Amino acid sequence: MNSNWFKLLMKVMKIDYGKNLLLKGVPVIFNKKGATLNIGSDVVIKSSFLSNLVGLYQRTIIVTRTSEAEIYIGDNVGMSGATIYARKSIKIGKNTHIGGNVKILDNDFHPLEIEARNADNKEKIGTRPVVIGENCFIGCNSLILKGATLGDGCVVGAGAVVSGTFGDNCVIAGNPAQVIKRL
Tell me the torsion sign for CA atoms 61, 62, 64, 69: positive
Per-residue model confidence as pLDDT tens digits over 126-143:
999 999 999 999 999 999
What pTM, to 2 d.p., does this model score?
Answer: 0.93
Closest by CA position to 85, among listed 150, 130, 23, 42: 130
pLDDT tens-digit profile of 4-46? 678 888 888 889 999 999 998 889 999 999 999 999 999 999 9
CATH architecture for the domain at 4-182? 3 Solenoid (2.160)
CA–chain centroid gap for 160, Å, is: 15
Active-site annotation holds for 110: yes
CB 47 within 8 A of CB 84: no
Using DSSP, state whether 95 is helix, strand or coil.
coil
Catalytic residue among 32, 97, 103, 110: 110
